[in-house]
């Protein structure tokens, strides 16, 4: 009896072998460049069927630019933005590859305790790694335009261009309107 999920299951289709050459995934013998999306030798792009999610590499690069502009502290991996940049192409490729294949798993978050404004107690903040911030930005680029139209116009929490102060202002205007 074979293990579930193995290629020897009678009900499962056989997949072509997967080879790793220089950090680039190649299936079925075709050589492809993940950065340019070009295909050599086979005449087809073997990654087309292998990617369940269509994540543009340009979006990953733009997400990196946003994260770099925002700066921020290193995460649990202690990798700063400058260190991430030293191996930028490989780091961005890993993020793109894992997100587009559906195998991305977020790394742990570093916690930092800061004193509360009142002086009593501490507030715990989570500091994601640079790669996680890039992945979150990529995800936001795809997810936000889909869900944003479904929010109620009076929903202000965690929305682009809206804040708690905007909610207070609208509430004030409505209170004066009905007085």
Q: What is the pLDDT of residues 54-66, one digit of tens each?
A: 899 999 999 999 9
Query: Which segments of the chain are extended strands (E)?
Result: 18-21, 24-27, 31-32, 39-40, 110-115, 122-127
Residue numbers of the domain that contains 149:
52-153
- The three-class DSSP label of residue 78 is coil
Same domain, 85 and 103: yes
Same domain, 29 and 62: no
How many domains in the chain?
A: 2
pLDDT at res. 74? 92
What does each C-alpha distance from 135 to 63, 91, 177 come to in angstroms? 8, 11, 44
Q: Is residue 159 part of a domain?
A: no
Kindly give the parts of the chain with pLDDT less than 70. Answer: 1-51, 178-179
pLDDT at res. 29? 36
Same domain, 141 and 62: yes
- The three-class DSSP label of residue 90 is helix
Q: Is residue 147 part of a domain?
A: yes
Same domain, 112 and 74: yes
For the whole prediction, is pTM greater than 0.95? Answer: no
Last residue of a domain, one of 50, 68, 93: 50
pLDDT at res. 119? 86
Same domain, 44 and 92: no
């Amino acid at each position: 009896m074979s293990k579930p999920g193995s290629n020897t299951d009678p009900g499962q289709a056989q997949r072509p072998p997967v080879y790793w050459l220089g950090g680039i995934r190649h299936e079925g013998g075709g050589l492809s460049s993940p950065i340019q999306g070009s295909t050599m030798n086979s005449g087809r792009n073997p990654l087309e069927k292998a990617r369940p999610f269509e994540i543009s590499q340009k979006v990953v690069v733009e997400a990196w630019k946003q994260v770099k502009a925002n700066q921020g502290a290193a995460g649990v991996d202690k990798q700063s933005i400058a260190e991430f940049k030293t191996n930028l192409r490989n780091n961005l490729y890993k993020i793109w590859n894992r997100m587009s294949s559906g195998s991305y798993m977020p790394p742990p978050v570093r916690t930092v305790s800061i004193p509360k404004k009142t002086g009593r107690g501490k507030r715990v903040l989570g500091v994601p790694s640079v790669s996680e911030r890039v992945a979150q930005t990529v995800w936001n680029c795809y997810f936000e335009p889909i869900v944003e139209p479904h929010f109620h116009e009076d929903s202000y929490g965690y929305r682009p261009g809206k804040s708690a102060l905007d909610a207070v202002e609208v509430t004030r205007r409505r209170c004066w309107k009905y007085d």
